[in-house]
A and B are shown apart, each in its own frame.
Chain A
Amino acid sequence: MMKRILVVDDEPDITTSIKNGLERKGFDVDAYNDPLKALESFEPGTYDLLLIDIRMPKMNGFELYREIKKKSENVKICFFTAFEVYYEEFKRVFPNLEVKCFIRKPITINDLVAHINTELAKN
Chain B
Amino acid sequence: MIVQIQKTGEKKEVFYGSKSVPNTSEMHKQLELHNKIQEFINIANHEMKTPVQAILTYSELLQNGPERNRFVYIEAILRNARRLQKLSDNLLDITRIYGQTTGLKKEKFDLNALISYVIEDYRNPIENVDYGIKNIGIEFKPVCKIFVNADRDRLEQVISNLLDNALKFTQEGKISILVEKKEDNKAVVTISDTGRGWMLEFFLDYLQNLLRCQTVERD
Contacts and interface: CB of A to CB of B under 8 A. Distances in A.
Interface of A: 11-14, 16-18, 20-21, 24, 33, 55, 57, 82-84, 105-109
A17 B61 contact: yes
B53 A82 contact: yes
B57 interface: yes
Contact of A21 (B46, B57, B76, B80): B57
B109 to A, nearest CB: 35
Nearest to A82: B49
B50 A82 contact: yes
Given A14-B50, A16-B76, A82-B49, A108 B60 contact: yes
A24 B46 contact: no
Interface residues of B, number: 24
Interface in B47-71: 47, 49-54, 56-58, 60-61, 64-65, 69
A105 B48 CA distance: 10
Contact of B169 (A24, A57, A107): A57
A85 to B, nearest CB: 11
Interface string B130-145: 0010000000000000
Query: 6 tightest CB-CB pairs across the interface, nearest first?
Result: A82-B49, A17-B57, A13-B54, A106-B53, A105-B53, A82-B46
Nearest to A34: B171
Given A20-B57, A84-B42, A108-B57, 17 more contacts: A12-B129, A12-B132, A14-B50, A17-B53, A17-B54, A17-B57, A20-B61, A21-B57, A21-B60, A24-B64, A33-B132, A82-B45, A82-B46, A106-B49, A106-B53, A108-B56, A109-B57
